[in-house]
Structure 1
Amino acid sequence: MSWTDERVELLKKLWNQGLSASQIAAELAGGITRNAVIGKVHRLGLSGRAKAPAPQQARPRKAPTRAPSHPMSHTHSAPVVRGNLAVAPKAMPMAAPIMELAPTPMTDVVIPMSERVTIMELRESMCRWPHGDPTSEDFRFCGAKSPTGTPYCNFHSQVAYQPSMDRRRAAARAGGMR
């Protein structure tokens, strides 16, 4: 296979007409492959070319097919969506299970309003336990003294960090299981 002047001129002409590299290779024949055409186009610096004429009428798109539902599948599952343009289904909020905390001597602790602080007043040694709705102006943090290296005061640490056995017991009581 060699690139004769006639073949190069035909390549340029076909490339500028908008033919694909595969189509050009078929026209040139004589052992010239699609990759050989692409390589020669790059070596010749042929980059800008006419677009291939668009078909008169666009092909109708196929209707998306749904995957058959398995009889054992959940009836409330989201439809199967594939492709890089797929949009994730919106998450539906679910009510969190209410768990009763084991009564402790510290459950009666009330944080005085004078100790509660805004985000601007919050310092490293203060408890970061949130109080109220973050979108309201009354939103504050606990602000009580917290031990060095911990984000919460002693009371809120007990609420935040419960031993796993206590959580299981509380969940069992709330769910009626044992």
Structure 2
Amino acid sequence: MNWTDERVELLRKLWSEGLSASQIAAQLGGVSRNAVIGKVHRLKLSSRGRATAAPAHKKKASPSASKSASRPAAAHRHVTATVGATALQIQFDAEPVARQHLRPVENVVVPISRRLKLVELTEHTCKWPNGDPLTEDFSFCGNDSKEGGPYCTYHSRVAFQPVAERRRAR
């Protein structure tokens, strides 16, 4: 399917009227919803009109209310119109919430790295990586590690969170 100038113009018109990508694809014919979304994205169509819904009428209590109760229920049904592909519109209503630091502040001493190479590591040295592995100055911490663990005391605190703290963060 080729996007002719006429079809692109119709796409622009329908998009500005607030139709969804599925509705536009159905009207254009021979094109999928995803093709419409892709074309809208490539054309950088951001502003959209809103499909208007029928105004909602409030039911008033009146003497004629008993008469209207005998009418079919379909006469009072409200139909809402869909806005369409709102994934293309980014709207932020609330400001982002800053995360709280849950760990208690302690006097933390950052150890001086021994800067060991991979071949110098043993089962008793900290294996915390320093730097970019693709550069020449890449090394490991190399300080004494805790029993059975891969990291020294400081890097263990960085790497592992207590279970209770992980549950609170969810």
TM-score, normalising length: structure 2: 0.38
Higher helix share: 2
Give the greater-gyration-radius structure (CA). Answer: 1
The higher-RCO structure (CA 8 Å, 6+ apart) is 2
TM-score, normalising length: structure 1: 0.37
